[in-house]
Structure 1
């Protein structure tokens, strides 16, 4: 089968990522084999290629979010059948520790992100992929393979951030940073499901317009120096209940200053840098909450898939690339010029 493989780290994906022939994987008893129809790009693909912040197993196949059809079953698999349309749940956890059995599989000490930390040659940029039965979710016939791959991890992460970690309630004011990113596009739509007032941010006018199309009530350009003052004006100086954060260093102090008394900032990334600052007076005088989030549970993934099937969540897809041109997706992501998710189709060379 064809797979996108790299055997060394480099800043330039074009230099190291190549389409190669590798063997179709042999299944363990609890695994299924999936014919991959669509794979969605994530920023951890770039981290893997760059070899930072961690080294990854070599040779490496990236790709965490796949959708496709089950074509083979391990002998212990009972909940799936050949022909089922499925999507991956990329959070590989032990399922037996106290974190997992209390519903916090994302906090499992043995957790691995499939397609990022796994290998050698075990990820989703390939024509056939294998996963444990427990890491596969069914998708309804009215969800396309492209939409399923685009919404799976970012949707699950966004649901986990807003519903579980930030405890979002109807009627609140929610600031969604980076509203046309993968997590941002779903974050806007989840907040509107809860009938919240949504202020979204984006880096240019085209992206700002897309945020409004997705349902945001207000939008601001976070690249402008006074962006946070505009947000404050939009709330009549009251501030926001929740900040949905993944940009990091360049905006973090201003985000904290926008929180109401008892408000919550929930963070799942820091693409502009990790070493930020905070005015501690906001922390104790306002009683704010700063919480982290990463990925989510399979149940949260299935919640997002339900609302996607009802057309209440619609993934924003930037481009669908044939597998022979899949490195273009890495380059677009590195430049930051994509709007929504980029997809590659391993069966279409």
Structure 2
């Protein structure tokens, strides 16, 4: 089979990433062989190439978002059969520790993000992959492989932030920072499923319009100096119930101040830097909650697949690349020259 492989770290995808012929995986009794029909790019694919913030197993195949067709099942597999259409849950965990048995597989000490921390040569940017049957979710016939790959990671992460961590309730006011990002686009739509008022932020006219098209009730340009004042005007100074945060250093302290008493901020990233500060008086006087969040559970991925199949969550796809142009997708991620998910078609060279 063919796979996109890099054997050393660096900052130039086109020089480091090569399509190679490698052996098709041989599955274990509890595993399934999946022919990958569509894979989606994430920032961890760039981080893997950079060797930051962690070094990855070498030689490396990236790709944590993928959907495809079951081609072979191990002798112990009973819930899947050849021909099933599946999307991959990329959170590999032990399934037997206290965290896993409590429904918190994302807190497992042995957790690995498939396609990022796994290998050598085990990720989604390949024509075939092997996965434990516990890491597969069936997708309905009305959901395409492209849609499933495009929504899996960002949808699951956003669902976990809003529902799993923040416990959102109808009629709450939700502030989605970076509403035009993958996380943001999914979060807007999930919050509307729960009948929340959504205020999104975006940094350009085009992105502002896209946030409105996804269902945001209000959109504010977070690049303006007075962006927080505009949000206070929208809420009539009542404050925000839930903030979805992944921007980091530049906006984090202001987001804290925007929360109402008892409000919650959920963080899953720090694009502009991680060394932020907060005024602790807001923490104890207003009784606010600051929660961390990473990935999500298989059950949460199943919820996202369900709501996407019902048309309540719509994946946004920017570009679909043939396998031979795999490096171009990383260059687009690097330059931010895309709007929506970038997909890879491993079966089309």
Does the pair score TM above 0.5? yes
Deviations 1:251-296 (A, max 9, x none): 1111111100000000111111111111111101110000001011
Return the offset for 1:336: 2.0
Write the distance in 2 (CA, Å) between the matches of 1:28 and 1:161: 33
Write the distance in 2 (CA, Å) between the matches of 1:282 and 1:222: 21
Write the distance in 2 (CA, Å) between the matches of 1:82 and 1:223: 50
Partner of residue 173, structure 1: 173
Return the offset for 1:247: 1.0
Corresponding residue SS for 1:106:
helix
Corresponding residue SS for 2:120:
coil
Return the offset for 1:329: 1.3
Partner of residue 56, structure 2: 56
Matched, 1:223 2:255: no
Partner of residue 40, structure 2: 40
Corresponding residue SS for 1:326:
helix
The 3 A distance-change label for structure 1 pair 99 and 240 is: same
Q: Is the deviation greater in 267-276 or in 331-340? A: 331-340
Deviations 1:171-193 (A, max 9, x none): 00000111121111110000000
Return the offset for 1:148: 0.1
Write the distance in 2 (CA, Å) between the matches of 1:220 and 1:335: 23
Partner of residue 113, structure 2: 113
Write the distance in 2 (CA, Å) between the matches of 1:213 and 1:301: 24
Unaligned runs of 5+ in 1: none
TM-score, normalised to structure 1, is 0.99
Partner of residue 137, structure 2: 137
Partner of residue 73, structure 2: 73
Corresponding residue SS for 2:106:
helix
Partner of residue 21, structure 1: 21
TM-score, normalised to structure 2, is 0.99
Return the offset for 1:73: 0.6
Corresponding residue SS for 1:109:
coil
Q: How many residues align?
A: 349
Give runs of aligned pairs for residues 313-332 of structure 1, distance below 5 A.
313-332=313-332
Partner of residue 300, structure 1: 300
Write the distance in 1 (CA, Å) between the matches of 2:322 and 2:180: 23
Unaligned runs of 5+ in 2: none
Write the distance in 2 (CA, Å) between the matches of 1:251 and 1:337: 23
Write the distance in 1 (CA, Å) between the matches of 2:165 and 2:62: 28
Partner of residue 6, structure 1: 6
Corresponding residue SS for 1:37:
strand
Partner of residue 246, structure 2: 246
Write the distance in 1 (CA, Å) between the matches of 2:280 and 2:166: 20
Matched, 1:289 2:289: yes
Write the distance in 2 (CA, Å) between the matches of 1:5 and 1:123: 10
Matched, 1:309 2:309: yes
Write the distance in 1 (CA, Å) between the matches of 2:210 and 2:305: 22
Corresponding residue SS for 2:150:
helix
Return the offset for 1:11: 1.4
Q: After TM superposition, where is structure 1 displaced by more than 4 Å over at least 4 residues in a row?
A: none
Corresponding residue SS for 1:253:
helix
Partner of residue 94, structure 2: 94
Corresponding residue SS for 2:275:
coil
Matched, 1:277 2:277: yes
Return the offset for 1:337: 2.9
Write the distance in 2 (CA, Å) between the matches of 1:90 and 1:41: 13
Corresponding residue SS for 2:34:
strand
Return the offset for 1:76: 0.7
Return the offset for 1:347: 0.4
Over the aligned positions, Cα root-mean-square deviation in angstroms equals 0.8
